Amino acid sequence: MDTSKLERLDETRWRIPATGSMQVPAVIFADRDLIEDMDDKVHEQICNVCRLPGIVKSALVMPDAHWGYGFPIGGVAAFAADEGGVISAGGVGFDISCGVRLIDTGVSREAIQSVQAELAHELSRSTPAGVGSTGRIRLDDTDMDNMLTGGAKWAVAEGYGLPDDLEHIEESGCQADPDPAAVSARARRRQRNEMGTLGSGNHYLEVQYVSEVFNNSIADAYGLREGDAVISIHCGSRGLGHQIGTEFLREMAISAEKYGIKLPDRELACAPINSGLGQRYLGAMRAAVNCALANRQILTHLTRTAFAQFFPDTTLKLVYDVSHNICKEEHHVVDGESLRLHVHRKGATRALGPGSKDVPAAFRNVGQPVFIGGSMGTSSYVLAGTEAGEELAFSSACHGAGRKMSRHQARKRWRGREIADELAQDGVIVRSPSSRGIAEEAPGAYKDVTGVVDAADRAGLTTKVCRLRPMICIKG
């Protein structure tokens, strides 16, 4: 990105002044290396976000940001419904409620290594992954409505998990105010056989270990210690969420003129929050959130079943589950006034600080867990939300390393088999139904996740808690 277009506020914050039709300025969180590697399209996209009606304070860009559809991936923006604010399907994304959950296995790195190959085989066999992957669960119309309404609570009631899991999931496992009736028949058909599946792209199930602890008190609160083996599950609402995004983006683009909205980019198609269309999208989106929460809950059950074959005496305990493609209705203080806002986080995660009532009681003194996924063979991180993050970024943080190379470019540069062989030499077993998918997700196609995490830490968005390194990676 051309830094001559930016005002540098400090070591990790850059400002784009509001000019022309921009309603507010934009702020980018990044150090100089990250900002110079960021594509110029991010600048263009976040400035367009600043032109949307009812936007509040500033539009924000996280350190892992890269070009996306409408909003940049890593984009955050809040809108005031009472000031004509809008809801944008492009500001949520197609994979609605894509997120990460972290599970403590209760066993050590060494215990995993003693059965690593066998465990990798069993996890890949029991966890459907890849484009169009389907599971063993079949939902009829009643089941579908119950799932879209109940989320992870529905999954637990159906026998997929433990009641205690719900205390460690954002929104206690069930997003309020869903509207299953706003989910089309086609979206339902796409999801009917996809519950309990990883999907494709950057989704994964990884067995990892805690390689380094940066903050012992927070790590203790999360139940994490150096040498512990953990599991990260990264996936979302599968075909249902994608179909909802596709349908509502089209409808919002067609309806923009009726609502008097001049779109700076058709990909930013939106509708007033208080309109019938806006409310229908929010209802459908919340139903998709529940779909994603139920999906990750079922995957957790499948993972526990696989682990029990090797470690029958251990209980896999859910640490936390948080989404990073979502819009949430929240209260935030802006210029001394508490406002009801709809906060879009696309490729960004909520990162509530200590004391927030929305953080589980077990973590309330230290802040919400934040999970930053790396790519195959690289580190992932556990962070914690901060009090400063509320003022800085509506309590938001980055969500991953962020791509620096398109999937097409990655396929031209690498072969999946070669990547898998290289990782095996480093002690990481990769299992995927697609060699092409491995090539697209090659570690070199992503930014340096440590640099991204360090920038978020220095900016005050998050606090570093511990580093995770992979041992087994099940890829879509």
Residue 428 makes CB contacts below 8 A (sequence gap 6+) with 376, 377, 470, 471, 472, 473
43 is catalytic: no
Query: Of 433, 417, 443, 439, which Cα lies nearest the Cα of 474?
Result: 433
CA pair distance 196, 164, nearest whole angstrom = 20
Tell me the β-bridge partners of 66.
Answer: 73
375's tokens: 């790519």
The enclosing H or E element of 243 equals: helix 238-255
247 phi and psi angles, rounded to 5 deg: -70, -45
Quote the DSSP letter at residue 387. S
Active-site residue identified among 242, 301, 324, 399: 399
Instruction: Give the residues across from 80 on adjacent strands.
Output: 341
User: Is the distance from CB of 372 to CB of 449 less than 8 angstroms?
Assistant: yes
DSSP 446: B
Give the gyration radius of the chain's Cα atoms. 21
Q: Alpha helix locations (H) across 127-201?
A: 141-157, 185-191
Instruction: Report the C-alpha gap between 106 and 229 in whole angstroms.
Output: 7
What is the length of the chain?
A: 476
User: What is the per-residue burial (b if ≥16 Cβ within 10 Å, else e) of 123-162?
Assistant: bbebbbbbeebbbebebeeeebbbbbbbbbbbbbebebbb
Q: Which helix (H) or strand (E) holds 388?
A: helix 388-393
- How far apart CA 305 and CA 312 sit, in angstroms, is 9
Would you please indicate which residues are annotated as catalytic (active-site) residues? 399
